[in-house]
Chain A
Amino acid sequence: MSTRAAELAEQFEDVAQQREASTLGMWVFLATEVMFFGALFLAFSVTRSLHVESFSQAAKHLDILAGTINTAVLFTSSFTTALAVSALQQGQLKRVIGLLSVSIVLGGLFLAIKGHEYHEKWVEGFFPGNAFAVSGPAGNEVELFFLFYFILTGLHGIHLLIALGVTAVLVWLIVTNRVTPTRSMPLEASALYWHFVDIVWVFVFPLLYLIGGR
């Protein structure tokens, strides 16, 4: 037992096993997340198929420029996260911390732009509820669209917020030398999660902003 590496948890035989278990665990977790968002996409698609016309009209109220900028911002953050993982494996710790900080800033920028969009929609009266801007039967349908808009982007935002928090913790762990080039698994797992949040946006963005004959 004296030969066991310090980072090896007692239930595992060796470091390779521990590493593979963490990776598989993260993938299985992401599978649950896929089903979580998948059900929501399904609900949106079914409702959209019931009210094609109203949903197309409603989509025109979204700020496509803000959405496009956000898409670019989020993709870039995924890129810097991926670079951070390979930098850690090569032992360039300063570079890792720099890249992760860029990811965090970009993630924050995404949320700020999203917040700006939310504010606009709130002011324009597109927040579902009694004071909704459009009334009548078509109003109900537009309201449904915006309900899905806030649920989808809101859940995505919560996931991004969690990813930001996890990445901030990882920066701390790298600074305090608890995540190292030989123990890079925590960063790899959190990077997987970051990319997943990115991929969800790849579906959210076209579903909400792009479909509908712009």
Chain B
Amino acid sequence: MSVLLYSSDTDEPRERDSYLTPHTLRSWLLTTDHKRVGLLYLFTIIVFFVIAAVAAGIMRLNLLTPRGDLVQAETYNRLFTLHGVLMVWFFLIPSIPSVLGNFLLPLMIGARDLAFPKLNLLSWYIFILGGAFAFYALLIGGVDTGWTFYTPYSSTYSNSNVVLMAAGIFIAGFSSILTGLNFIVSIHQMRAPGLTWFRLRLFVWSMYATSLILVLATPVLAITLCLMALERIWRVGIFDPSLGGDPLLFQHLFWFYSHPAVYIMILPGMGVVSELIAAFARKRVFGYTFVAFSSLAIALIGFLVWGHHMFVSSQSVFAGMIFSFLSFLVAVPSAIKVFNWTATLYKGSISLDTPMLYALGFIGLFTVGGMTGLILAALAVDVHVHDTYFVIAHFHYIMVGGMVTAFMGGLHFWWPKITGRMYPELLGKLAAIIIFIGFNLTFFPQFVLGYLGMPRRYHAYPEQFQVYNVLSTAGASILGIGYLLPLLYLLWSCFYGRRVAENPWNALGFEWETASPPPVHNFEKAPIQRDEAYNYAEVASTPGAGLS
């Protein structure tokens, strides 16, 4: 039936009911449809991603030579600040939650929309406003404090547009809060009949855990940036020791938000990977409840480990030991997930489509990132590698190797659902492999650099480090091509991709039971969950059986 409906190129009955029509700009800017809001976020964060990636590219080019011939130290400071601020707050944090989460969450729980659709659109406008502040700060000269805004440099000494940039982040924070609030309420109140908590998709569980962090941690960042900006404008000394303040207080408050924020930047990726592994291994996820609860455990313990960013900041050694212990503890739920994914693969009938390549890449890269995190959580070793490229490599393995890889995997997996068209599979696989190679070549040498003692945030370095820096820059160029490819072929596929039916991967879940692209109100018939989430034993054993 679906073949008849979808094979002709023009004037299909379903096309007119899809959420993508009408095509006017006004209909997009005033939409309250969660699917459209998700796409609005997608367009926006791609812009920020490109700007931040270009900044990274300039830094890598500069580091080709030991003397740093391309840019001055001052410019370099502004580049890494720009890269960090945009990537963290304007790309990674909204990436999976606000794009895939917005698009998929109501579909996955069988709802017509999120609980508060207008708030959802408002969150995008707030995000745009925050982005405009950040962009303006960038245009009139940028900021040189690093994304961490440590005081008293940021509040007293820096001559750059700190307040504007902080205002941008402050405003964007409210969009995070609104998204988190919307997700929590929707998951609690809007589930379809039969969809009990332990029948929820693991992606939904990860969104729930992420939302808890968004809602509870973001306000702390807001007040911290407020205080820092007040101190700068008002010339008072909450964080300035010469005026009776405490600079460490800023670091505590900042990391109380920013460490949980790291989990905002990985939990959603874990959710996506759980979906991909199940769909492409054709198996129920091994230890479902453990994977679900490990998301909550990560969110919870993640609030108690912020002090591991401050091992060398004159924090007491006793506090350091406790934070070190808790940091080892938070690795346990992550390890549970990795174990359960591999156990799911075991004896599964695995097919290596593009999304699965990304998922497998994620498991490897995340494991490297996670294990090196343990090295950093060990007090004595951290003293040696603190503020070196070892740290840079570690968190890029988590954020880029983990989160961005999962985002790419998820984007490919749900692309046919979002657009109703398939991307070119061969190019997809090629890009996934290029990204994997480019990523490792960029960041693995940085582990070595850091261990040898090259500090982060310098525009020049001693000559003996050059070979690793050249390798890293070479890797970055490959990585750049890897990210450019999907940008081009995904855009191409919007217009020329092969049309698909409801369920091109023959996967399980409410979102695959409705049309591709889905109608405005998601479902023709209200869905009912009659079974556990991943009962792949009962469906055909190959993905792609539903291709039209």
Contacts and interface: CB of A to CB of B under 8 A. Distances in A.
B219 interface: yes
A29 interface: yes
A199 B111 CA distance: 36
B185 A28 contact: yes
B238 A144 contact: yes
Contact of B189 (A20, A42, A50): A20
> Which of A33, A47, A141 has the most chain B CB atoms inside 10 A of its CB?
A47
Nearest to B116: A25
B115 A21 contact: yes
Given A11-B117, A32-B216, A39-B220, A51 B244 contact: yes
Nearest to B227: A43
Interface stretch (B228-236, B277-285, B307-315, B333-341): B228-236
Nearest to B173: A32
Interface in B210-244: 215-220, 222-224, 227, 230, 234-238, 243-244
A21 B220 contact: no
A178 B182 CA distance: 24
Contact of A11 (B111, B184, B243): B111
Contacts of A24: 184-185, 188-189
B113 interface: yes
A31 B112 contact: no
Nearest to B181: A28
A85 B220 CA distance: 32
A129 interface: yes
Contacts of B218: 32
A40 to B, nearest CB: 5
Interface stretch (B2-10, B197-205, B245-253, B452-460): B245-253
B244 A137 contact: yes
Contacts of A11: 111-115, 117, 190
Interface residues of B, number: 41
A187 B520 CA distance: 31
Contacts of B190: 11-12, 17, 21
B219 A28 contact: no
B128 interface: no
Contacts of B222: 36
Contacts of A148: 238
Given A31-B216, A36-B220, A147 B189 contact: no
A133 B186 CA distance: 53
A143 interface: yes
B227 A21 contact: no
Interface string A19-60: 011001100110111011111101100110011000000000
B177 interface: yes
Contact of A128 (B177, B184, B227, B236): B236
A140 interface: yes
A66 B489 CA distance: 68
A39 B246 contact: no
A143 B224 CA distance: 19
B224 A39 contact: yes
A29 B245 contact: no
Of residues B117, B223, B230, which shows the largest number of chain A Cβ atoms within 10 Å of its Cβ?
B223
A163 to B, nearest CB: 18
Contact of B253 (A29, A42, A129, A141): A42
Given A21-B185, A32-B181, A35-B216, A140 B237 contact: yes
Contact of B245 (A10, A21, A47): A47
Contacts of A83: none
B219 A35 contact: yes
B503 to A, nearest CB: 24
Nearest to A145: B244
Nearest to A141: B244
Contact of B185 (A9, A25, A40, A147): A25
Contacts of B521: 10
Contacts of B243: 140, 143-144
A136 B180 CA distance: 46
B475 to A, nearest CB: 40
A137 B241 CA distance: 11
Given A32-B218, A140-B244, A43 B253 contact: yes
Interface string A135-158: 001001101100110010000000
Contacts of A37: 223
A23 B217 CA distance: 21
Contacts of B237: 140, 143-144
B354 to A, nearest CB: 33
Interface string B154-183: 000000000000000000000001001110
Interface string B93-133: 00000000000000000011111110000000000000000
A28 B215 contact: yes
A40 B223 contact: yes
**Which of A31, A35, A51, A141: most chain B CB closer than 10 A?**
A35
Contacts of B185: 21, 24-25, 28
Given A25-B185, A35-B220, A144 B115 contact: no
Nearest to B223: A39
Contact of A33 (B111, B219, B234, B245): B219
Contacts of A143: 236-237, 243-244
B217 to A, nearest CB: 7
Contacts of A140: 237, 243-244
Contacts of A141: 244
Counting chain A CB atoms within 10 Å of each CB, the highest count among B115, B222, B235, B237 belongs to: B115
B20 to A, nearest CB: 19
B207 to A, nearest CB: 14
A166 to B, nearest CB: 15
Contacts of A10: 112-113, 521
A152 to B, nearest CB: 11
A144 B236 contact: yes
Given A20-B189, A21-B189, A140-B244, A36 B219 contact: yes
Q: Which of A37, A129, A140, A148 has the most CB of B within 10 A?
A: A140
7 contacts: A20-B189, A21-B190, A28-B185, A35-B219, A39-B224, A40-B223, A46-B246
Given A28-B184, A40-B227, A143-B237, 16 more contacts: A11-B113, A11-B117, A24-B189, A31-B215, A32-B219, A36-B222, A37-B223, A39-B220, A40-B223, A43-B253, A51-B244, A129-B236, A140-B237, A143-B236, A148-B238, A151-B230
**Closest 7 A/B residue pairs (Cβ):** A36-B219, A11-B113, A35-B219, A140-B244, A21-B189, A39-B220, A21-B115
Interface of B: 111-117, 177, 180-182, 184-186, 188-190, 215-220, 222-224, 227, 230, 234-238, 243-246, 249, 253, 256, 521
